Structure 1
Amino acid sequence: MVPNQRGQKHGVGYFDVSHWGARVEESSGGVSHLRLNTFARKNTPERPFAVANDFIASSLGIATGLPVPPGTLVGVYGGGYNYASLAFGDRGDKPPPIIPPQFCEERPWEACGIIAFDHWIHNTDRHDGNIGHLPEVAVAIFDHDLALLNETKTSDEALLLLAASQDVPVKFHCLPPYLKDVSHFGEWFDRIASVTRREIRRAAIAAHTAELVSAELRDALVAFLEHRQTRIGSFIEQTRDQYRSVNSWTLDIEEVDSDN
């Protein structure tokens, strides 16, 4: 916990929870009914799978141990679900965009984890505006609505995308050009590989139960995530030319059996 300039303390886990906006409405026996600030993702005609993408990806990021603000599916008035996650940053405001060279210099461990994770979920939209960094507090990564099913409009389109992209690495990520130390990748490969099939299925099943994806798409998402889960090192090797600041390439990538 780090005091801020106003003498307050904040910072829980990997991210800053705004104590400024929290309000206790009632308390009994040491348990309070507490209202907190959240950010909510909803589907739009342009991105009909945005909620499923964000929920599944964020759930797996949390399971991996990445600095993803906790969230859940929330039923909304009029029907349907949003993906709501805890607000973070000073007073609940989003932190300003990161400066990628500075971030990679100061937080190489997190940078490696973010890159590895984005390869797993095929997130093609990681940029300086969806990584939060308060130097005195923590890091937060968010906005995964363009991972997995991206902007596909129908289940048929989404199934075709998953089939076409299952072995495609993520290119043009905002962090690799500035990362100097790749020694932390191995730990993140192990962390991602340790996420069980049960955890992957739980996230996909919840999205299906909320009628965000069809049963066929639910199963395809599980297969897609399991397929990519142990191939992240290979994806990073395929994009090695993007790591222009690395002087010593220390990755030791083993070939992965396609049946694993």
Structure 2
Amino acid sequence: MAASARGQKHGIGYFDVALWGARIEDSSGGVSHLRLNAYARKNTPERPFAVVNDFIASSLGIATGLPVPPGTLVGVYGGGYNYASLAFGDRGDKPPPIIPPKFCEERPWEACGIIAFDHWIHNTDRHNGNIAYLPEFAVAVFDHDLSLLNEAKTADEALALLAKSQDIPVIDHCLTPHLKDVSHFGEWFDRIASVTRREIRRAVSTAHSSELINAELRDALTTFLEHRQTRIGSFVDQTRDQYQKADSWTLDIEEVSSGS
């Protein structure tokens, strides 16, 4: 990071930003080169669908309004794609793991959103290390490589997993035992329901056109996401016994229609 930028807070905590090179004077006005700190996710033999999981889930998280750091697919030398996302932190320093009881007490709105979203994408790997919280800045939610297709090794395994988990809620979420205020769930149910079919299909089709998944898996993922999108309230209600500290339980769990 450039020395002139050290000691200053940039990007509302989302990423480490430094001026890089001269300002470009053109018709758009005041444009400069920037150096951004980012992380790249790649597929591995153990997780051959890690990139598509992270890309689709993160894209939908952003569409929902969840504080997911911006990211995109990036082509790599030799072929294929990684998923690159901007790093969250002050001056490039990675925040420490959250303390779930403290986080739920201070940020119940975000906690409800994270839980609801994880039900949508069937993310069974939420933990204190993939939620970041800087009280003076904001919250960031990242690392969705074990959502959706999880650790399936082949397309056939992935198809079977989607069929098996279609109506299964997320059990033992790291935040549910500590959440006292569940009043924000209704807003997040509505936010998730407002994500249109066009947006869901755009994210999944991009993964297909990038040759990360085949056509059959593209269609199955689309169906999976559209199906679960209307059942978030039911999933939360099914796991009601895990909200041990909830002050009250007044959820409206009427199933809703997904966006058009």
**TM-score interval, normalised by the smaller of the two chains:** over 0.9
After TM superposition, the runs of 4+ consecutive aligned structure 1 residues lying more than 3 A away are 255-258
SS of corresponding position for 1:223: helix
Please give the residue correspondences for 1:135-214 in structure 2 after superposition, counting only pairs within 5 Å: 135-214=135-214
Cα distance 1:90–1:255, how it changes in 2: closer, same or farther (>3 A)?
closer
Q: CA deviation at 1:11?
A: 3.8
Contact 1:63 1:195 in 2 (8 A): yes
**Cα distance in 2, alignment partners of residues 37 and 189 from structure 1:** 32
Q: CA deviation at 1:257?
A: 8.2
Contact 1:169 1:235 in 2 (8 A): yes
Q: TM-score under structure 1 normalisation? A: 0.92
RMSD of aligned Cα (Å): 1.8
Deviations 1:192-232 (A, max 9, x none): 00000000001001101111001110111110000000100
SS of corresponding position for 1:23: strand
**Cα distance in 1, alignment partners of residues 235 and 59 from structure 2:** 22
Match of 1:3 in 2: none
**Cα distance in 2, alignment partners of residues 118 and 195 from structure 1:** 15
**Cα distance in 1, alignment partners of residues 100 and 238 from structure 2:** 21
Contact 2:54 2:147 in 1 (8 A): yes
Q: CA deviation at 1:18?
A: 1.2
Match of 1:53 in 2: 53
Match of 2:128 in 1: 128
**Cα distance in 2, alignment partners of residues 85 and 220 from structure 1:** 26
Q: 1:18 aligns with which of 16, 19, 22?
A: 16
Match of 1:104 in 2: 104
Match of 1:28 in 2: 25
**Cα distance in 1, alignment partners of residues 107 and 227 from structure 2:** 29
SS of corresponding position for 1:119: helix
**Cα distance in 2, alignment partners of residues 11 and 19 from structure 1:** 7
Match of 2:244 in 1: 244
SS of corresponding position for 2:17: coil
Deviations 1:89-133 (A, max 9, x none): 011222110000000000000000000000000000000000000
Please give the residue correspondences for 1:39-118 in structure 2 after superposition, counting only pairs within 5 Å: 39-118=39-118
Aligned partner of 1:28: which letter? E
Cα distance 1:257–1:16, how it changes in 2: closer, same or farther (>3 A)?
closer
**Cα distance in 2, alignment partners of residues 19 and 256 from structure 1:** 41
SS of corresponding position for 1:91: coil
Q: Percent identity?
A: 80
**Cα distance in 2, alignment partners of residues 220 and 209 from structure 1:** 15
Aligned partner of 1:135: which letter? P
**Cα distance in 2, alignment partners of residues 253 and 203 from structure 1:** 27
SS of corresponding position for 2:91: helix
**Cα distance in 2, alignment partners of residues 169 and 191 from structure 1:** 18
SS of corresponding position for 1:164: helix
Q: CA deviation at 1:23?
A: 2.6
Cα distance 1:246–1:165, how it changes in 2: closer, same or farther (>3 A)?
same
SS of corresponding position for 2:147: coil
Please say which of residues 234-243 and 32-41 is displaced more in the overlay. 32-41
Uncovered stretches (5+) of structure 1, i.e. residues with no partner:
1-5
SS of corresponding position for 1:129: coil
**Cα distance in 1, alignment partners of residues 47 and 7 from structure 2:** 42
* Equivalenced residues, count: 251
Q: CA deviation at 1:47?
A: 0.2
Aligned partner of 2:60: which letter? L
Aligned partner of 2:229: which letter? Q
Deviations 1:2-49 (A, max 9, x none): xxxx8623343xx522125x5346623232332311100000000000
**Cα distance in 2, alignment partners of residues 105 and 162 from structure 1:** 34
Match of 2:3 in 1: none
SS of corresponding position for 1:177: helix
Aligned partner of 1:16: which letter? Y
Uncovered stretches (5+) of structure 2, i.e. residues with no partner:
1-5
